[in-house]
Amino acid sequence: MSQFYALMHDNTVKYISLREEIIADIRNLFINGGAVLKPEGIEEDEFDGNIVSRNGENITYVNYNLPEDFARIPDNQADMSEYNINEDTPKSIFYYDDGKFYFQAFNKKNMLQRKMILQIEFGNVFARMNNNAFIVEDKVHAIFENGRLYFQSYTIANQIFSLIDFVTEATNTEIESFGDIEGINVNTENIKHIANIKTRRLIKLLSNIDNIETFMRKASRTRANLLRKYGVNAQINENNELVLPTNNVVELNRTLEFLNEDIFRGVITDRLYRSNSKKKDNH
C-alpha cells in the first residue's frame, strides 16, 4: 500500500493515490534521497540558528512534534482527503516508511500545469500532454524520526515546517554586526530600540545565511520588481544598498521575512502567503 502524501499549508495531510506498479519507484526515490541527506553515522548537531550544516559532514536537527494530522499515518488513510492536483497547493510531498517521514519541499518548479509539455506518443513524434502533472525529484530535504526533524538547509526546511521558534535571539552586539553586512543600509540603533523577539530571531538567521548577498546580486530591475511584488516597503539607494525600514517594526519584520523567504506566492492561485501560515497575506 502506498504511503505517499501531500502536506498542505495549514499542516493538514492529504493522501496521494498511486498505481500499484509505481509505488516501489516512488518509495525508492525517497528512501535513497534520505540516505544522501542523512548517511549512516553522520554527526548530528542541534539547531539554534548558529550551527551551519556542512553537506556530508554533519546534519542539524530540532526536537519536533508533528501536526496532529500525522497521527493518521500509516493506518487511517480512509479518514483522509485525497490530493486533487487541480485544487490543492501543497508545501511539501512526503513518504512514510518504517517509522520515518521523508519530506521534499514543493513549489512552482514541481508543477507542470499551464505549460506546453510534450511527450512522445508514436515513435519519435511528440504530442502535447493534456493532463496536469507534478514532478517528484530524487532528493529529500528533511527527515522526521524518533521525535527529531533533520535537515541540511534551514531555508528549505522552514518552507516545510516553521522553525523560527528554534532560533535564539540576536543580541545587541549581533544586531550591530548585522548592520555591517555588505549590500544593506540599516540604522542598528533604531533596530535595537524597536526590535521584538521575531525581529531578533530573523536577524540571527539572516546573519548566518547568504540570502541578502544572493538578493543583492540580482539585477536592479529584478530586485525592485520583487520588493513590489511581495509588498515590501524597502528601497534601493544610490549606493546600490537595500535600505531597511527601521522606524516601524511591522515593516522591518516584513522586510526581514522577505529576505528569509518566509513570504511566497501560492503555486496555483498566485496569492501571497506567509510561510507555514493558515492565512493569506493581505499586502
Determine the length of the chain: 283
The least confident of 25-39, 66-80, 124-138 is 124-138
pLDDT of residue 274: 58
User: What pLDDT is attached to residue 280?
Assistant: 46
pLDDT band of residue 50 (cuts 50, 70, 90) is: low
In the predicted model, what is the mean pLDDT of residues 57-61? 90
Instruction: Name which residue leads in pLDDT, 50 or 190.
Output: 190
- Worst-scoring range by mean pLDDT, 101-105, 202-206, 211-215, 276-280? 276-280
In sequence order, which residues have a C-beta less than 8 Å from that of residue 201 and are 6 or more positions away? Answer: 49, 164, 165, 167, 168, 169, 170
| pLDDT for residue 213 is more than 50 | yes
Mean pLDDT over all residues of the chain? Answer: 87
C-alpha cell at 166: 528554534
pLDDT on residue 3: 94
Stretch 145-157: mean pLDDT: 93
Lowest mean pLDDT among 93-102, 130-139, 238-247, 262-271: 262-271
Mean pLDDT on 69-73: 93
Tell me the mean pLDDT in the region 98-104.
97
Q: Is the pLDDT of residue 167 over 50?
A: yes
User: Average pLDDT of 69-75?
Assistant: 92
Residues of the chain with pLDDT > 90: what percent? 64
- One-letter amino acid at 109 equals K
